[in-house]
């Protein structure tokens, strides 16, 4: 890592439920209503970070390599992978606190292009 790299660590637990992985928040966070967070948002964020790590570690050299392995288009990979650049504050609210965004998944992808200081308000409607 270079000195300009920011590393975001979110302590999560992944457990299988009904044969599918489920992301659980840390134990010290008060549980909220289970159905508040859209599972598609969590899955998309997890996939985006997985693809980003593959590129960072050299396991894939292009988005096309990932698209071929995942059997989707490189355009889809490019769009969803933007979620890996959400601010740490937005990621904490989405993943740890399970706060649902005020936007659709497609609009949340567009929020990732904003500066970090503006992302929380854009994603949740609050500052």
Which pLDDT score is estimated for 97? Answer: 82
pLDDT greater than 80 at residue 10: no
pLDDT value for 1:
58
* Nearest of 110, 74, 73, 70 to residue 90 by alpha carbon: 110
C-alpha–C-alpha distance, residues 23 and 46, integer Å: 9
CA pair distance 96, 87, nearest whole angstrom:
13
Query: What are the domain boundaries of the chain?
Result: 37-124
Cβ–Cβ < 8 Å for 124, 99: yes
Write the pLDDT tens digit of every residue in 12-58. 777 777 778 777 766 655 555 444 667 888 899 999 999 999 999 99
Which pairing describes strands 20-24 and 13-17: parallel, antiparallel, or unpaired?
antiparallel
Mean pLDDT (the chain) is 84
pLDDT of residue 60: 92
- Give the pLDDT of residue 23: 73
What pLDDT was estimated at residue 26?
Answer: 66
**What is the value of pTM for the model shown?**
0.68
What pLDDT does residue 35 have? 43
What residues contact 112, with CB distance under 8 A and at least 6 apart? 82, 83, 84, 85, 86, 119
């Amino acid at each position: 890592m270079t000195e300009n790299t920011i590393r975001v660590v979110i302590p999560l637990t992944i457990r299988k439920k009904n044969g599918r992985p489920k992301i659980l928040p840390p134990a010290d966070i008060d549980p909220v209503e289970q159905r508040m967070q859209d599972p598609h948002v969590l899955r998309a964020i997890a996939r985006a970070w997985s693809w980003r790590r593959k590129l960072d570690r050299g396991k894939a050299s292009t988005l096309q390599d990932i698209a071929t392995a995942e059997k989707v288009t490189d355009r889809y990979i490019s769009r969803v992978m933007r979620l890996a650049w959400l601010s740490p504050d937005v990621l904490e609210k989405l993943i740890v606190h399970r706060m649902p965004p005020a936007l659709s998944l497609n609009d949340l992808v567009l929020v990732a292009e904003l500066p970090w200081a503006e992302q929380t308000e854009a994603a949740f409607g609050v500052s």
